[in-house]
């Protein structure tokens, strides 16, 4: 993975993004946001705020009206392949991400789709598994793994693609304290641009330096630790404490 010095290069630029779900619910309301390379950003807010919806716009799964640029590249049909290589999105439920009979195939799925050949893919798998502390589990079947192990493998499936921007949706949800601790330590070692969707204030504080609060499809706060996490009223108003 890339090792980044503090950089002024823009990783994510979102301008006036609006999105309405097919059933009519307005999920994103004129969202504008700029994230620089190397930043660790926590995306927080109450349930239904639009955090996951926003994340799905970053790699083009959802397309709203407005502009989304990843590393200067506009998110549209034409650039989709490159966008998906740049943005690694780890979903909340590992069972949604592990759909092949073996860990090897699941973690290799991304690299193979990117066009890696067999040797390169195997190397990428081995590397990714070692990053998440699951070396040697290539032949195991996801059906037979514990929740914590599945979480780690699902993280590996995305890391194997070596993304420039890592987006994690509630990474510590349902993990026991040890699993949560291990995950935090693990994520801290990643030097990519990180966007972490979470309700876990303590985890956010440990990993991130910038905190964005969303509520009802809008960004209501964007600042550093003392500005945001230190503001009790703000946190209370938006369901975070």
Q: Which residues bind other proteins (CB under 8 A)?
A: 56, 59, 61, 81, 84-85, 87-89, 91, 93, 95-97, 99-101, 108-110, 112-114, 117-118, 121, 143, 157-158, 161
User: Least Å distance between CB 63 and other proteins?
Assistant: 12
The Cα 151–Cα 71 span in angstroms is: 27
Cβ proximity to other proteins: between 107 and 183 the closer is 107
- Taking the least distance from each CB to other proteins, the nearer of 140 and 209 is 140
Q: Which is nearer to other proteins, 140 or 191 (by Cβ)?
A: 140
With respect to other proteins, which residue has the nearer C-beta, 112 or 201? 112
State the nearest-atom distance from the C-beta of 117 to other proteins, in Å. 8
- Retrieve residue 158's tokens: 């995305």
- Cα Dmax for the chain: 54
Q: CA 207 to CA 226: how far, in whole Å? A: 15
Q: By C-beta, is 36 or 147 nearer to other proteins?
A: 147
Q: Least distance to other proteins from the beta carbon of 183, Å?
A: 19
Cα distance between residue 236 and residue 19, in whole Å: 26
> Comparing C-alpha atoms, which of 97, 158, 108 is closest to residue 132?
158
| Region for residue 54 given its phi and psi (left: phi exceeds 0; alpha: psi -120 to 50; beta: otherwise) | alpha
Output 87 or 219, the one with its CB closest to other proteins.
87
Least distance to other proteins, CB of residue 47, Å: 16
Minimum distance from CB of 164 to other proteins (Å)?
A: 14
Q: Which residues contact 107 (CB under 8 A, 6 or more apart)?
A: 124, 125, 128, 129, 138, 153, 156, 157, 160
Place of tokens 């004129």: 30
Between 78 and 188, CB nearer to other proteins: 78
Q: Which of 191, 228, 221 is nearest to 207 (CA)?
A: 191
| Minimum distance from residue 9 beta carbon to other proteins (Å) | 23
Quote the least distance from Cβ 224 to other proteins, whole Å.
30
Q: Are 86 and 163 in contact, with CB atoms under 8 Å apart?
A: yes
How many C-beta atoms surround the C-beta of residue 178 within 10 A? 9
């Amino acid at each position: 993975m890339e090792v980044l010095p503090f950089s002024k290069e823009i990783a994510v630029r979102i301008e006036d993004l609006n999105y309405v779900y097919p059933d009519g619910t307005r999920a994103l309301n004129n969202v504008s946001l700029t994230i620089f390379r190397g930043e660790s950003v926590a995306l927080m807010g109450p349930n239904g705020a639009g955090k996951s919806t926003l994340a799905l716009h970053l790699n083009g799964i959802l397309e709203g009206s407005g502009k989304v640029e990843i590393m200067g590249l506009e998110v549209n049909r034409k650039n989709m392949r490159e966008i998906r290589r740049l943005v690694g999105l780890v979903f909340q439920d590992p069972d949604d991400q592990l759909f092949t009979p073996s860990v090897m195939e699941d973690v290799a799925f991304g690299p193979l789709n990117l066009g890696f050949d067999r040797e390169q893919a195997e190397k990428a798998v081995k590397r990714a598994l070692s990053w998440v502390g699951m070396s040697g589990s290539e032949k195991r079947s996801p059906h037979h793994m514990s929740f914590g192990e599945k979480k780690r493998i699902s993280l590996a499936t995305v890391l194997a693609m070596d993304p420039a921007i890592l987006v994690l949706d509630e990474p510590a949800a349902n993990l026991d304290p040890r699993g949560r601790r291990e995950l935090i330590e693990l994520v801290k070692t990643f030097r990519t641009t990180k966007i972490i969707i979470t309700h876990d204030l303590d985890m956010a504080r440990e990993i991130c330096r910038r905190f964005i609060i969303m509520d009802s499809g809008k960004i209501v706060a964007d600042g550093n630790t003392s500005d945001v996490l230190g503001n009790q009223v703000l946190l209370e108003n938006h369901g975070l404490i």
